Amino acid sequence: MNKLCQTGLKNRAHTLNLSRLMVRVEKQDKRKRMLNLLRLADSPCRRLFLDYHGLRLVWSWMMDPNNKLRLEIMETLEVLPLTNKTVLQETKIFGVVEKWEEESRP
């Protein structure tokens, strides 16, 4: 992970390594660093992340009861090259985002 933080996501191998690390990491601070890496990644790498089923990984983090990364997750979703709402609905992310929005209303 430290190596990825130094280089950033620049190619297919970096993106694949990030996806593999995301499956295993459980600590919130490391997850936050990974989301930041993804936000700062080159555009083709963000697209590859989606191809590697990255939204399913993000959804699993969203469902973690100890999740304290809502803002970081939302900022990351904002920069991903999502072409339509259907992708978010299929991965169940859309429903979670709606739920978070309802919870944040006064």
How far CA 78 is from CA of 24, 66, 84, 97, in Å, comes to 24, 22, 12, 12
Q: Which domain holds residue 88?
A: 2-104
The domain tally of the chain equals 1
| Confidence (pLDDT) at 4 | 85
| Confidence (pLDDT) at 1 | 81
Under-50 pLDDT residues of the chain: none
Q: Which residues contact 103 (CB under 8 A, 6 or more apart)?
A: none
- Alpha-carbon distance of 29 to 35, in angstroms, equals 10
| Confidence (pLDDT) at 93 | 96
Burial of 66 (0-12, 13-18, 19+ CB in 10 A): exposed
| Confidence (pLDDT) at 104 | 83
| Confidence (pLDDT) at 14 | 94
